[in-house]
């Protein structure tokens, strides 16, 4: 540990700046300017250089970019679909789940939406939360509650809660899809304005 700290200091900005100051002190010594006090001059210039040197900047953590995060979400979604396929759901809930699943498949497609989501960390977060937490929790809580309902009938239907939850998740996914659509629309409009602003030059400078 002590050796690594010593090596780190030797390579630090403070040591490099201090060494430059100390070297200047040696030049003053050899030219006779420092006189008999040259050790003090060299040490003082080294200390001054080390003092004014900018502090070391810690390395920024290397977090995965949105594209890499999307790849992980896709892999988790594939696993989730296997779990959902084994879930015994009533027709209404199964239909709502199918609609939500189709929308998630489209959003997680590596082509069209993947390019846009790679530039939208918040969108990646929404999909990650849906796939990894909200959707499996909705189905699992239904399965567990249904078992207790069979043991003690009565109360509100677990199916009603599940259908409602799936509807809310689909609405959230649709909002994300709408955001991506608007992004593409703005891109198209921007290109139209760019071509319009070019004027006749856009036609190679040929006028009628």
Distant-in-sequence, close-in-space partners of 92: CB < 8 Å, separation ≥ 6: 159, 163
Q: Extract the tokens encoding 203.
A: 């036609």
The per-residue pLDDT for 14 is 60
* Same-domain status, 126 and 152: yes
Q: Is residue 134 scored above 90 in pLDDT?
A: yes
Q: How confident is the model at residue 127 (pLDDT cuts 50, 70, 90)?
A: very high
- Residue 206 forms part of a structural domain: no
- Residue 143 forms part of a structural domain: yes
- Residue 208 forms part of a structural domain: no
pLDDT per position as a tens digit, 6-26: 555 545 666 556 566 656 655
Q: Is residue 206 scored above 60 in pLDDT?
A: no
The per-residue pLDDT for 52 is 58
What's the CA gap between 58 and 185, in Å, rounded? Answer: 41
Range of the domain at 115: 66-199
Q: Extract the tokens encoding 13.
A: 């900005």
* Same-domain status, 44 and 74: no
* Same-domain status, 183 and 93: yes
């Amino acid at each position: 540990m002590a050796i690594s700290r010593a090596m780190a200091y030797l390579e630090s900005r403070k040591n490099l700046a201090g060494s430059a100051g100390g070297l200047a002190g040696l030049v003053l010594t050899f030219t006779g300017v420092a006189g008999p006090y040259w050790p003090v001059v060299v040490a003082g210039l080294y200390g001054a250089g080390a003092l004014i040197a900018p502090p070391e900047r810690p390395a920024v953590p290397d977090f995965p970019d949105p594209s890499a995060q999307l790849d992980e979400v896709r892999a988790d979604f594939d696993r989730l679909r296997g779990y959902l396929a084994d879930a015994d759901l009533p027709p209404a809930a199964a239909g709502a789940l199918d609609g939500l699943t189709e929308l998630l498949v489209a959003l997680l497609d590596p082509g069209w939406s993947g390019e846009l989501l790679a530039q939208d960390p918040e969108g990646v977060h929404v999909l990650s939360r849906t796939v990894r937490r909200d959707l499996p929790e909705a189905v699992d809580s239904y399965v567990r509650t249904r078992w207790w309902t069979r043991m003690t009938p009565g109360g509100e239907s677990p199916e009603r809660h599940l259908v409602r939850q799936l509807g809310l998740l689909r609405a959230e996914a649709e909002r994300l899809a709408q955001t991506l659509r608007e992004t593409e629309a703005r891109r198209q409009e921007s290109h139209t304005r760019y071509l319009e602003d070019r004027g006749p030059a856009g036609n190679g400078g040929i006028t009628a």
